[in-house]
């Protein structure tokens, strides 16, 4: 293996203590970014959809890379490309290539230069489409990242085949950033990367120049993170889930993690441990699967009263961009308006002030104490074989909560007005045959939900509540 920097448990704990002491105030954390001084003096570009179009010269770049790469603070996550009309899942391999190419071209034209794909994204089609899209641009105009799917437990021969396929599909001769995908448990890591020799093979690919930076993405427990950092390997970077909800409230693991990792590493501990290691890191899930881009109305009002022109997503991005040693922040952008909004946030990046940190924490407190169903209307649960419009049912209920149209007691002064508003809105938005009452509780939607919502249980509650309103029995 290569010459390395090894971290003992004592060194990690010592470094964590130092990091925690330096992070007493989040607003005081150092920001690792380079923005041209002239950028802030530049005027806005042409208007797009009524908003100023970000200019490439305004994009902020990080300087945390160990190979000296200047990487755009906004990274393009290639896991949510637009799919062809009629597709039932946003993860479909049937990607709308012209629309995907348009997004990639627009991102590059406005300063984004980091693109992150993986073996499993869009059931394998993401790497192919990403390769096609980027092949139309100079190789030195972008940094490309992909991952070894260790979760598939490949032996050495299979891993070599996979790597060769990735180079072919992405139409490149080398990867700028390559990751061991989804490190979760120590025994799994040992079996694939140490016992099967896959790590030694990837290190050799790095020596041969087909990998410029070698790192890993993490979805595991404390033991896994401590173990991988203690290995005799000169890691170049890491990739972790970071967002203000996980750090200031509680960790929400990615879909299906808990069944494989019973006790995921706490978010703050994980961040401090990475900081102590000195590794630059890529941020994934800055919006918590889209949840932080779709706050409930009361929380969103707090943010918009402070900054009316800024979206909830921009607050979330600015928060994580202020953390130390960030390499780039990934966002999966299906629609051009999402890309434009994210570009505006980083063109240029302006750190949250201490006051804005306080405002964000206030909005978070309102958000987590609300009774809203944590649906982001992503549509992964659709279609329902029984015709229920799951996202719209949840959105209607959440909107009524935000507008105080969910009466708790018929004795309240506003009961009749709230009841009438709830039922009138329901009749306008959701046909009866697509309502919650038609949920059979089959559970087919459960594995698809990124937010761990017990959809049948919530549908049952909404159906019973609606029936009570119809009968005036609440």
Maximum Cα interatomic distance, the chain, rounded to a whole number of Å: 75
Q: What pLDDT score does 20 carry?
A: 38
| CA-to-CA separations, 396 to 389, 424, 436, 455, in angstroms, rounded | 11, 11, 11, 15
Are 356 and 381 in contact by the 8 Å Cβ rule? The answer is no
Helix H or strand E segment including 331: strand 326-332
What per-residue confidence (pLDDT) applies to 42? 35
pLDDT at 6 over 90: no
415: nearest Cα among 406, 423, 424: 406
Q: How much of the chain, in percent, has pLDDT values that exceed 90?
A: 72
Beta strands (DSSP E) in 149-263 are 175-183, 211-218, 237-241
Q: Is the peptide bond before 348 cis (omega within 30 degrees of 0)?
A: yes
The residues facing 183 across adjacent strands are 218
pLDDT in tens, 145-166: 999 999 999 999 999 999 999 9
Q: What is the pLDDT averaged over residues 188-195?
A: 97
Cα 172 from Cα 114, distance rounded (Å): 15
Instruction: Place 402 in a pLDDT band, splitting at 50, 70 and 90.
Output: confident
Q: What is the pLDDT of residue 253?
A: 65
| pLDDT for the residue 39 | 35
Region label for 120, one of left (φ > 0), alpha (ψ between -120 and 50) or beta (otherwise): alpha
Binned at pLDDT 50, 70 and 90, residue 226 comes out as very high
| Residue 51: closest CA among 309, 305, 304 | 309
Pairing status of strand 71-72 against strand 61-62 = antiparallel
Closest CA to 450 of 241, 307, 296: 241
pLDDT of residue 368: 87
Under 8 Å CB-to-CB from 400, ≥6 apart: which residues? 406, 421, 422, 425
Q: What distance in Å separates the CA atoms of residue 125 and residue 131, rounded to the nearest whole number?
A: 10
Distance CA 206, CA 214 (A): 7
Q: Which two tokens stand for residue 201?
A: 């093979």
Residues facing residue 454 across a β-bridge: none
Token couple for 385: 């074989």
Cβ-contact 94, 62 below 8 angstroms: no
pLDDT of 24 strictly over 80: no
242 SS3 class: coil
Distances (CA, A) of 312 to 28, 94, 130, 287: 22, 30, 28, 9
Look at residue 454 and tell me whether its pLDDT is greater than 50: yes
Determine the average pLDDT of the residues in 30-52.
Answer: 39
pTM above 0.95, yes or no: no
What pLDDT is attached to residue 254?
57
Question: In this structure, what DSSP letter does residue 381 have?
Answer: T
Residue 213 contacts residue 194 (beta carbons within 8 Å): no
Average pLDDT, rounded, for the chain: 87
d(CA 352, CA 199): 39
- The answer to whether 349 and 73 have CB atoms below 8 angstroms apart is yes
Q: Does domain 9-368 have CATH number 3.20.20.100?
A: yes
Dihedral sign computed on CA atoms, order 434, 440, 443, 444:
negative
3-state DSSP of 120-155: CHHHHHHHHHHHHHHHCCCHHHCEEEEEECHHHCCC
Q: Which residue has the higher pLDDT, 413 or 32?
A: 413
pLDDT tier at 21, thresholds 50, 70, 90: very low
pLDDT of 474 above 70:
no
Residue 370's pLDDT is what? 79
Instruction: Indicate the domain borders of the chain.
Output: 9-368, 390-470
Query: What pLDDT sits at residue 317?
Result: 98
Predicted confidence at residue 399, as pLDDT, reads 87
Beta strands in 7-113 (DSSP E): 47-48, 51-52, 61-62, 71-72, 74-77
Cβ atoms 328, 71 nearer than 8 A: yes
For residue range 96-140, list pLDDT tens digits in order.
Answer: 999 999 999 999 999 999 999 999 999 999 999 999 999 999 999
pLDDT band at 169 (very low <50, low <70, confident <90, very high): very high
pLDDT the model gives residue 256: 55
Mean pLDDT of 253-261: 63
Token representation of residue 428 = 């306008």
Q: Can you state the angle between helices 267-277 and 222-230, rounded to 10 degrees? A: 10
Residue 249: partners with Cβ closer than 8 Å, 6 or more residues away? 364, 368
**Paired sense of beta strands 114-116 and 143-148, if any:** parallel
Task: Provide the percentage of residues in the chain whose pLDDT is more than 70.
Answer: 86
CA dist., res. 470 & res. 467, Å (int): 5
Nearest alpha carbon to residue 321 among 265, 360, 281, 371: 281
Give the closest residue to 186 by CA, choosing from 229, 227, 232, 152.
227
Q: What burial class does residue 187 get, using C-beta atoms within 10 Å of its C-beta: 0-12 exposed, 13-18 middle, 19+ buried?
A: exposed
């Amino acid at each position: 293996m290569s010459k390395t920097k090894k971290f003992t448990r004592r060194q990690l704990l010592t470094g964590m203590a130092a990091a925690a002491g330096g992070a007493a105030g989040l607003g005081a954390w150092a920001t690792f970014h380079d923005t041209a001084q002239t950028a802030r003096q530049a005027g806005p570009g042409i208007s797009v959809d009524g908003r100023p179009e970000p200019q490439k010269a305004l994009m902020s770049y990080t300087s945390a890379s160990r190979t000296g790469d200047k990487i755009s603070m906004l990274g393009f996550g290639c896991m949510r490309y637009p799919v062809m009309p009629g597709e039932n899942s946003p993860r479909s391999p049937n990607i709308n290539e012209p629309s995907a190419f348009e997004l990639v071209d627009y991102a590059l034209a406005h300063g984004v230069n980091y693109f992150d794909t993986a073996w499993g994204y869009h059931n394998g089609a993401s790497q192919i489409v990403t390769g096609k899209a980027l092949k139309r641009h100079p190789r030195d105009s972008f940094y490309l990242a992909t991952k070894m799917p260790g979760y598939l437990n490949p032996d050495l021969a299979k891993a070599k085949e996979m790597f060769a396929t990735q180079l072919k599909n992405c139409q490149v001769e080398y990867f700028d950033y390559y990751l061991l995908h989804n490190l979760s448990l120590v025994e799994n890591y040992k079996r694939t990367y140490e016992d099967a020799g896959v790590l030694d093979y990837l290190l050799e690919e790095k020596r041969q120049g087909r990998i410029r930076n070698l790192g890993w993405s993490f979805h595991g427990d404390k033991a896994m993170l401590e173990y991988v950092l203690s290995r005799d390997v000169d890691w170049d970077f890491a990739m972790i889930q970071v967002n203000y909800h996980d750090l200031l409230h509680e960790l929400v693991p990615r879909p299906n993690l808990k069944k494989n990792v019973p006790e995921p590493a706490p978010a703050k501990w994980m961040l401090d441990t990475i900081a102590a290691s000195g590794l630059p890191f890529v941020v994934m899930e800055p919006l918590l699967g889209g949840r932080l881009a779709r706050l409930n109305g009361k929380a969103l009002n707090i943010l918009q009263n402070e900054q009316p022109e800024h979206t909830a997503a921009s607050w979330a991005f600015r928060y994580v961009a202020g953390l130390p040693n960030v390499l780039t922040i990934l966002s999966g952008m299906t629609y051009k308006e999402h890309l434009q909004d994210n570009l505006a946030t980083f063109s240029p990046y302006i750190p949250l002030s201490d006051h804005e940190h306080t405002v964000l924490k206030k909005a978070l407190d309102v958000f987590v104490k609300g009774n809203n169903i944590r649906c982001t209307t992503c549509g992964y649960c659709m279609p329902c074989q029984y015709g229920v419009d799951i996202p719209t049912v949840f959105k209607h209920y959440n909107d009524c909560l935000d507008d105080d149209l969910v009466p708790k007691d018929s004795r309240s002064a506003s009961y009749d007005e709230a009841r009438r508003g709830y039922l009138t809105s329901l009749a306008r938005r959701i046909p009866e045959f697509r309502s919650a009452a038609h949920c059979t509780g089959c559970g087919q939607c459960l594995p698809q939900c990124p937010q761990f919502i017990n959809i049948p249980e919530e549908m049952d509650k909404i159906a019973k509540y609606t029936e009570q309103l119809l009968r005036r029995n609440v």
